[in-house]
Amino acid sequence: MDKKMEAAFNDQINKEYYSAYLYLAMKTAFAEMNLPGFVNWFDIQVQEEKAHAVGMYDYVLERGGHVELGAIDKPELNGKTPVEIFKQVLEHEKFVTSRINAVYDVAEELKDRAAMLFLNWYIKEQVEEEASASDVLAKVEMIGDNTHALLDLDKELAARVFNPPIIK
């Protein structure tokens, strides 16, 4: 595996683990608000992000590359309210999309077709990640200070289930 490609994947593995860590911090915030449905939603986000990291980890090893694990940054929340937190989720997912695109740029530059094909899954996944963050953000914005509506949404989010992604 080209060293530049390997470095790009290693950086993204770290970003995916950081995402898991950030969502774990957000899960804590909702646990403290006594909103178990939101806690469930973030718990699934955490599991998905770990799966994204492991997908790339496995790919690097499969291609004979070296995985170099770096330190994971401390997650910082921009706010405490559901609206502030979901604004940050959407902003973060847009950032992750830009980073996945940057990894793809390296693959394209190196004419690494296998890496490009592999990254297609992540590019499509980011469309879903941004859509699901936007969806919850729109709902919490509509809810505002309506506690009943917030509890209804909490029930809705409690129904979300984790389907382990098949990254191929």
Binding site for Mg ion (CB under 5 A): 16, 19, 49, 52
Q: Which amino acid is at 29?
A: A
What's the CA gap between 12 and 53, in Å, rounded? 8
Distances (CA, A) of 86 to 1, 9, 19, 22, 119: 37, 27, 14, 12, 26
Kindly state the smallest distance separating residue 49's Cβ from Mg ion, in Å: 5
In whole angstroms, what is the distance from residue 24 CA to residue 43 CA? 7
Q: Nearest approach, Cβ of 105 to Mg ion (angstroms)?
A: 18
Closer of 106 and 153 to Mg ion (Cβ): 106
**Cα angle 8, 134, 71; round to 5:** 30
Dihedral of the CA atoms 46, 136, 87, 75 (nearest 10)?
-10
Supply the minimum distance, in Å, between the C-beta of residue 36 and Mg ion. Answer: 23
Could you tell me the smallest distance in angstroms from the CB atom of residue 9 to Mg ion? 13
CB-wise, 56 or 153, nearer to Mg ion? Answer: 56
Cβ nearer to Mg ion, comparing 67 with 149: 67
Q: Which residue is nearest to Mg ion (CB)?
A: 52
- Residue 112's CB is within 10 A of a number of other CB atoms, namely 19
Q: Which is nearer to Mg ion, 29 or 103 (CB)?
A: 103
